[in-house]
Structure 1
Amino acid sequence: MQGGLLGLALMVSAAWAGQDRGPVTNLPLPRYVSMKASEGNVRRGPSLTHRIDWVYTRRDMPLEITAEHGHWRRVRDRDGAGGWVHYSLLSGVRTVIIEEDMLSLYRRPDTRAPETARLELGVIARLGECDLHWCELTAAGYRGWALKTALWGVRADELRD
């Protein structure tokens, strides 16, 4: 068993090692974060002099960081829209958006387990532990496991403890 876990850990390490790293933070690119603020300007470039293209207005919304420049992060949302956001508006707290209407949450990562809740399309949930196929979520006081394929904000190969 331990050899299997070690092998899995080495595969995950190798996967992360193959990723690009941000020149500012040395964290993997791309990577997911969430909106810390309830409102954040999305700019055309990485400075206050660049035009504001739109404003994100959803606190905890998951975003994918694709580039870094000083205190700025280029992000994209689940629709592929993006731009530059000041790093102070972002949080390392992981969230996901539910991509399937009435998504079942299960007590365990097993479709035969009892359901704990159903989440509507577009709900934002806090991301917990993930294995290859399932992630543990918390939303509106409910907790349970959902299939990873129904979530935006977590990589298909991502494992979380």
Structure 2
Amino acid sequence: MWRLLGAGCLVFALVASAAVAQSNVGRGPITNLPMPRYVSMKASEGNVRRGPSLTHRIDWVFKRRDMPVQITAEHGHWRRVQDRDGAGGWVHYALLSGVRTVLVEKDMLAVHARPDPTSPINAAFELGVVARLGSCVLDWCQISAGGYRGWASKEDLWGVAPDEIRD
């Protein structure tokens, strides 16, 4: 009888742990924040390592402050990140900022006064500009850089999810 009861408890425990794991799908195990998610580089230089510790080799170095990156994994104080080209590795969390930025992916991107392609154009941003991310609606995001601000098509920006809405 005890064996039968033990097996029943084991099955219950497995089902319960599977339910907890399922409810945390898409959440970081350390921060419980959504995964993947976008952040930016806080530092003007940041070592990107092969693994999540100082003993791992530095594969390359981020050289641009405010560059948007996507966090794809967490381990202790380390975050696995990737850039718009898919290159990545492990970065210490102190080098990252929650301030959202985006990378302009279209040359001379029209930045409009309102989220409407027929609204007046406030500015045109060059390919590769890093802009601060503001509000986002279904297909548009408000961005700012170099003292200019306005709305740009979400499909021309890297650093924001296609379905992301921001107030």
TM-score between both structures, scaled by the size of structure 1: 0.88
Q: Distance in 1 between matches of 2:45 and 2:144?
A: 23
Work out which of the two has the higher radius of gyration on C-alpha atoms and give 1 or 2: 2
Return the match for 2:41 from 31, 35, 46. 35
d(CA) in 1 for partners of 2:151, 2:145: 11
Q: Measure, in 1, the Cα distance between the counterparts of 2:123 and 2:40.
A: 23
For 2:166, the aligned partner's letter is R
Q: Tell me by how many angstroms 1:20 deviates.
A: 1.0
Give the SS at the match of 2:155. helix
Matched residue type, 2:153:
L
1:136, distance to aligned residue in structure 2 (A): 0.1
Structure having the higher strand fraction is 1
Give the share of equivalent positions with the same residue, in percent.
72
Aligned: 1:89 with 2:95: yes
Equivalent residues in 2 for 1:12-161, closer than 5 Å: 20-161=26-167
Alpha-carbon distance between aligned partners in 1 of 2:87 and 2:108, rounded to the nearest angstrom: 25
Could you list the structure 1 runs, at least 4 aligned residues long, displaced by more than 3 angstroms after superposition.
Answer: none
**Structure 2 match to 1:5:** none
- Which stretches in structure 2 are left out of the alignment for 5+ residues? 1-22
Gaps in structure 1 of 5+ consecutive residues: 1-16
SS of the counterpart of 2:151?
A: strand
In structure 2, distance between residues paired with 1:149 and 1:23: 30
Q: Deviations over 1:111-133 (max 9, x none)?
A: 11111000000000000000010
Deviations 1:36-90 (A, max 9, x none): 0000000000000000000000000000000000000000000000000000000
Aligned residues: 145
**What code does the residue aligned with 1:150 have?**
D
Report the AA paired with residue 30 of structure 1: P
